[in-house]
Amino acid sequence: CPDTCRVPRVPRMLYPKAHVLQPPRVDVLLMTPWFAPIIWDGTYDSAILDAQFRNTTIGLTVFAIKKYVVFLKLFLETAEKYFMVGHRVIYYILTDRPADVPQIPLQEGRRVVILKVRNYTRWQDVVLHRMEMISNFSQQRFLHEVDYLVSADVDMKFSDHVGVEILSSLFGTLHPGFYASDRQRFTYERRPLSQAYIPEDEGDFYYAAALYGGSVAEVYRLATACHQATLIDKANGIEAVWHEESHLNKYLLYHKPTKVLSPEYVWDERMLRKPPYLRRLRYVAVPKNHAQIRSR
Ligand code: 2GW
Ligand code: MN
pLDDT confidence band for 35 (50 / 70 / 90): very high
Say whether pLDDT at 295 is over 90.
Answer: no
Mean pLDDT, rounded, for 153-166: 98
Question: Looking at this predicted complex, what is its ipTM?
Answer: 0.97
Q: Which distant-in-sequence residues (6+ apart) come within 8 Å of 276 by Cβ? A: none
DSSP assignment letter at 195 = T
Say whether pLDDT at 3 is over 60.
Answer: no
Strands 110-116 and 207-215: unpaired
Say whether pLDDT at 291 is over 90.
Answer: no
- Which helix (H) or strand (E) covers residue 122, if one does? none
Our answer on whether the CB atom of 156 is closer than 6 Å to any ligand 1 atom is no
Amino acid in position 290: H
Q: Which of 161, 165, 206 is nearest to 185 (CA)?
A: 206
Atom 4 in ligand 1: residue holding the nearest Cα: 294
pLDDT confidence band for 290 (50 / 70 / 90): confident
The DSSP bridge partners found for residue 152 are 62, 211
Q: Which of 137, 165, 164, 135 is nearest to 251 (CA)?
A: 135
Our answer on whether the CB atom of 94 is closer than 6 Å to any ligand 1 atom is no
Active site residue 264: no
| pLDDT one-digit tens code per residue, 63-101 | 999 999 999 999 999 999 999 999 999 999 999 999 999
Catalytic residue selected from 202, 245, 264, 269: 245
CA 110 to chain centre: 19
Our answer on whether the CB atom of 128 is closer than 6 Å to any ligand 1 atom is no
Q: Would you list the domain boundaries of the chain?
A: 42-287
Our answer on whether the CB atom of 64 is closer than 6 Å to any ligand 1 atom is yes
- Site to substitute for ligand 1 among 153, 189, 222, 272, most atoms within 8 A of C-beta: 153
pLDDT confidence band for 116 (50 / 70 / 90): very high
Residue range 42-287, CATH number: 3.90.550.10
Q: What is the pLDDT of residue 209?
A: 98
pLDDT confidence band for 292 (50 / 70 / 90): confident
